[in-house]
Structure 1
């Protein structure tokens, strides 16, 4: 499996931000208030992926890969990579959505009271998306197999 491309994530991020900015610009008055914890659901996922990344990395570094007890099954590592790739996309899209929302709301803070109360929730969501992307990319990195040492010729 190829590693996640940062360019793909950036394109998704910009697309989501622009699309949401356009939608919020047209429908902001019809949206419900954004609570502070609206985007916080991504934090536990990021924490779980970060913990899993360190556990997987330790097993790979100790060459504990296989079917035995206390070993990392290769399919588990493959599933972790799939989870990391999906989480990177979800986190990127989420961060783009919250940024698009903030791009509309922040300039409106001086004129709209709702914009003042909606901003903290959007900021929490934006940071949560970025944290999820970082933990997902870390998990994906930790699932890579170490490079084999080069064969040294006999003297």
Structure 2
């Protein structure tokens, strides 16, 4: 299993943004109100992941991976990578959705009162989704062992 590629995340974000725009254009009138609190849960998850990334980085950097007291178990590092990969994808796809919503709302702010009210919530949700992607990629980066070479991206040595 190799690291999550940023171009794959970007492609997923773009695909969801395009499909999401079509969905939003057709169904926006049925949406509930978008408040500032709409996307804050993603920001909370991003904060937890960033904190865990700093903890993992301090343990791996100090050479404390292995069994015993005060050490990071190797399976904990492997599970952290899995959480990071999943979170990066969730964040990227949700970011695509919120980008579609924001792109739909911005030109309609002057015409539709509800669009002006929903814009702030959609922007906060999009920023929170972006924060989740960044935190997940940071956690994935922090889980690399110190002896990993930069050219050993896919886990296969040449």
> What TM-score, normalized to structure 1?
0.93
CA distance in 2, matches of 1:110, 1:148: 53
1:134 corresponds to 2:134 = yes
Q: Gaps spanning 5+ residues in structure 1: where?
A: 150-155
Give the root-mean-square deviation of aligned CA atoms: 1.2
Name the SS for the 1:39 alignment partner: helix
Q: Gaps spanning 5+ residues in structure 2: where?
A: 150-158
Task: Tell me by how many angstroms 1:67 deviates.
Answer: 1.2
Task: Tell me by how many angstroms 1:148 deviates.
Answer: 6.9
Task: Tell me by how many angstroms 1:111 deviates.
Answer: 0.3
Deviations 1:55-90 (A, max 9, x none): 111111111111101001000000000000000001
Flag as ranges the 4+ runs of structure 1 deviating above 3 A. none
> What TM-score, normalized to structure 2?
0.91
Q: How many residues align?
A: 149
Stretch deviating more after TM superposition (16-25 or 28-37): 28-37
Task: Tell me by how many angstroms 1:28 deviates.
Answer: 1.3
- 1:18 match: 18
- 1:120 match: 120
CA distance in 2, matches of 1:52, 1:4: 18
Deviations 1:5-47 (A, max 9, x none): 0111011100111111101111111222112210111111111
- 1:143 match: 143
